Amino acid sequence: MAVADPCRLFGSELSPYSVKVRSYLRYKGVPHEWTPRSAANQAEFQKHAKLPLIPLVVTPQGEGLQDSTPVIERFEATASGPSIVPDDPALAFLSALVEEYADEWGNKWMFHYRWSYPADCWATAERIARQMVGEQGPLAVAQARGAVAERMTGRLGFVGSNPVTRPLIEASFKRVVQMLDRHLASRPYVLGGRPAMADFGLWGQLYEAATDPTPGAHMRASAKHVMAWVERMVSPRLEGEFESWETLSTGLMPLLSEEVGALFLPWSAANAAAVQNAEKNFEVTLAGAAWSQEPQKYHARSLAEIRRKYAVAKGAPGLDAVLAEADCLSWLA
């Protein structure tokens, strides 16, 4: 039997979206070559990439695919192997909603800890510098490390990390880690016996957090079930079926209500309004706490996409009742 030609995955071990796609391809058994992006392959990367962003998947036909969620959805529509989408359309939408929350809000945890804590900043800058110019020697690495640290700390405001928002971001991270630790104590994956979109989104951010000094120490000290799941998701495998909402609700309703409904969706709506009004900064109150940041243009498109998915799924039995209980419905309808 002929083996399919592999696709190439340009990415970085330090990119939550790169490792997210790699985990998915491993689970589905899609032949692929992991190619850490570096100066040595920049010309090839630019040949296929429409944007200077990773991950980039280059298909055997030479097509370049970017943006982790559309990449996964593209392969899910054609690749064989166990589905990551539950048959229950309500549960499928909730999984997509959690994945979107993880991509857009969970990235704030990762980016904040990584670039606002000195130990994390310099450790990560060193790893990035070694990947990009390691073959050029120690001096090149040292110079690149300083440049990376300066550039990335300067981008903290882009994800909303600042002295005003710092307590909320860190409280959100610690709360979610504890929620997931309780939930994952009795199942291998977020929706049961097999990984779903929710797993891949959450895991990308928490895998990165686990490899960084400050959040990683917190996770190792307080969340053994999350750490086991982080390791499991490096190369996930089918271990059973998806559960029903009835058995998942005790663990997932707090995540939906205290995080998605109380923080993520109102932040998303405020951000979208600021983009539409061409504001340079916006302020919103989230769960009683002040939030202030410059608008994120990309996320306004992301909110439109999750609303589109809700419009398709909204007739699913039980979905609106769950979303209403979690204070999510008004932001999606």
Reported in sequence order, the residue ranges of the chain that DSSP labels E, i.e. its strands, are: 7-11, 32-36, 56-58, 64-66, 282-286, 289-293
Helix, strand or coil, per DSSP, at residue 318: coil
As a whole number of angstroms, the distance between CA 65 and CA 290 comes to 37
In degrees and rounded to multiples of 5, residue 189 shows phi and psi of: -135, 170
pLDDT confidence of 3, banded at 50, 70, 90? low
Please tell me the pTM assigned to this model: 0.95
The model's pLDDT over 183-229, given as tens digits with 9 standing for 90+, comes to 999 999 999 999 999 999 999 999 999 999 999 999 999 999 999 99
As a whole number of angstroms, the distance between CA 43 and CA 321 comes to 51
Using the predicted structure, report yes or no on whether residue 298 has a pLDDT greater than 90: no
pLDDT confidence of 133, banded at 50, 70, 90? confident
The model's pLDDT over 150-183, given as tens digits with 9 standing for 90+, comes to 999 999 999 999 999 999 999 999 999 999 999 9
Q: What is the CATH architecture of 7-78?
A: 3-Layer(aba) Sandwich (3.40)
Domain spans in the chain, listed from the N-terminal domain onward? 7-78, 89-114+159-332
DSSP state of 82: S
b/e 247-285 (16+ beta carbons within 10 angstroms → b): ebeebbbbbbebbbbbbbbbbbbbbbebbeeeeeebebe
